[in-house]
Structure 1
Amino acid sequence: MKNVFLAFTFLCSSFLIAQEGTNMKKVITPPEKVRLAFEKEYPGKVPVWSEEYVGDDNDELRYEARYNVDNKTKALAIYDNLGNMKAYELQIPLSQLPAKAQAYLKKNYPAKAIREIAVVVDYKNVTTYEVGVKKDAKFYDIQFDKEGGFDVIIEKPE
Structure 2
Amino acid sequence: MKNVLLLLIFLGSGYLRAQEGIAMKEVVTPPEVVRFAFEKQYPNKTAVWAMEYVGDDNDEIRYEAKFNLTTKTKALSVYDNLGNLKATETQIPLSQLPPKAQAYLKQNYPAKAIREIAIVVDDKNKTTYEVGIEKKTKFYDVVFDKNGGFDVIIQKD
Deviation at 1:26, TM superposition (A): 2.5
Counterpart CA distance in 2 for 1:53 and 1:32 is 18
Q: What corresponds to 1:61 in structure 2? A: 61
SS at match of 1:82: coil
Fraction of identical pairs, as percent: 73
Deviation at 1:24, TM superposition (A): 4.5
Counterpart CA distance in 2 for 1:26 and 1:63 is 10
2:91 and 2:118 in contact (8 A); partners too = yes
- 5+ residue gaps, structure 2: 1-22
Structure having greater relative contact order (Cα 8 Å, sep ≥ 6) = 1
Amino acid across the alignment from 1:25: K
Q: What corresponds to 1:101 in structure 2? A: 101
CA-to-partner distance for each residue in 1:47-87, whole Å, 9 max, x for gaps? Answer: 00010111122111000000001111100000000000000
CA-to-partner distance for each residue in 1:97-136, whole Å, 9 max, x for gaps? Answer: 0000000000000000000000000000000000000112
Give the superposed CA RMSD: 1.1
Do residues 134 (structure 1) and 134 (structure 2) align? yes
Do residues 80 (structure 1) and 83 (structure 2) align? no
Task: Count residues with an aligned counterpart.
Answer: 135
Q: What corresponds to 1:39 in structure 2? A: 39
Deviating 4+ runs (over 6 angstroms): none
Amino acid across the alignment from 1:55: G
Q: TM-score, normalised by structure 2?
A: 0.84
